Amino acid sequence: MAELADRYYGILVGSLAGDAMGAPTEGKSTRHIAACFGGRVENFMVPPDDCLSRGRKAYQITDAASIPLLLCRQIIAEKAADRSVARRALLAWGDSEWFGPFAGMTTRKVVNALKKNSRISDWSYAGHLGNKLYKTHYYALSSNGSAVKAYPAAMLHPGDMDAAIGCAVELTMASHDDPISISGACGIAAAISHALGGKATGYTLGQAALYGARQGEDLAKKERDIWVYPGPSVVDRIEMAAEIAVRCGVSAMEELRDVVGNGPSVAETVPSALGLLIAHGGRTLPAMYDAVNMGDETAAIASLVGTIGGAMEGVGIFPRKWIPALEKANGIEIRPIAQGMLDLL
């Protein structure tokens, strides 16, 4: 259990570290990042005035890490993990400091809908998570918010990918009721569950993610309250990202960015995060630094890389000084949350 506790701690530290390091570079291009910060960013910077995190301090997190953090707290408090628990966690997040500046295009509407009618039934909720048509196309609604909060499902089912996938479907339905979003979330949940088994490599990580994404999409389509609309395949994008990673190796970042994409769609964020880890042979920090400098959705991509990497390599992969700095900047204690999730096994 000691090794598993180390990996659980690593998941949370990786989630927070990736988010906080990626927040200042969010929304910028790779060139703009280099111009703004004088080169590659491989440390925690004060966010500049032209990003969503402006006015905040180095080491402070955004939605990418705070939403799953509050979900873990809710799961620990209720000793349960279903969509009702996930909705209550979203309501709690909606009252937090992070909601105003960081709520994304799907999550903001979901939280507002939940606040308006907290007793809404699953059936009447179907396909109406904020009336999600956005920016004239559907697939933008399948945002990376589904994926960044997938790791609690894996923590509840370490080494059992099928159970983690089923749990991820249930938790994701609280905010993202479509097969594309669920496919991405289940890909991440399966990868982390596999990593927690202790034998993951870059290759097996990709295979686990593909399995999870396929299973998640299939399970989602069987839900009675699912909303099916057109959009890119997370599975196909993961396969594309893996091919680029294997072919380009540690230089894969630019091609992943330009071909797979690094935007808010879960079909871009999830494959690119996995591609970076595969490209670096499962080594967390080089992959995280690439994610931070990739541009656009840097906080979410880096947070996913950190989360998966923490599950693979444990908390020791992260510089020790990061942890107290993250805790102080965000007013949280990380280890008790990791232990609380472990105690539920």
127 domain residue, yes or no: no
319 domain-assigned:
yes
Q: Is 20 helix (H, G, I), strand (E, B) or coil?
A: helix
pLDDT at residue number 128: 45
Q: Tell me what pLDDT residue 141 has.
A: 67
Rg for the chain, CA atoms, rounded: 18
* pLDDT on residue 302: 99
Q: What is the CATH number of the domain that holds 104?
A: 1.10.4080.10
The answer to whether residue 128 sits within a structural domain is: no
**192's tokens:** 């982390």
**For residues 319 and 115, what is the distance between their CA atoms, to the nearest angstrom?**
40
Residue 202 lies in a domain: yes
Residue 129 belongs to some domain of the structure: no
Structural domains in the chain (count): 1
Residue 93 has a pLDDT of 82
pLDDT of residue 124: 39
Q: How far apart are CA 155 and CA 166, in angstroms?
A: 13
Asked if residue 125 is part of any domain, the answer here is no
Position 95 scores a pLDDT of 78
Q: Which domain holds residue 200?
A: 2-117+134-342
314 Rama sector, left if φ>0, alpha if ψ -120 to 50, beta otherwise: left
Task: State residue 230's pLDDT score.
Answer: 85
d(CA 64, CA 150): 11
pLDDT of residue 52: 83
The parts of the chain modelled with pLDDT lower than 70 are 99-141
Compute CA distances 11 → 123, 163, 172, 311, whole Å. 34, 18, 19, 5
Q: How far apart are CA 154 and CA 161, in angstroms?
A: 8
Examine residue 314 and state whether it is found in any structural domain, yes or no.
yes
What's the length of the chain?
Answer: 345
Q: Which residue stretches of 173-297 are H helix?
A: 179-196, 202-221, 234-248, 253-255, 266-279, 284-294
Asked if the structure places residue 123 within a domain, the reply is no
- Cα–Cα dist 208/190, whole Å: 6
Residue 143 has phi, psi (to 5 degrees) of: -90, 165
Amino acid at 46: V
CA–CA gap between residue 288 and residue 337 (Å, rounded) = 23
In order, the DSSP letters of 91-116 are HHHHTSTTHHHH--TTHHHHHHHHHH
Tell me how crowded residue 2 is: count the other CB atoms within 10 A of its CB: 5
Residue that is written with structure tokens 């680029």 in the block? 244
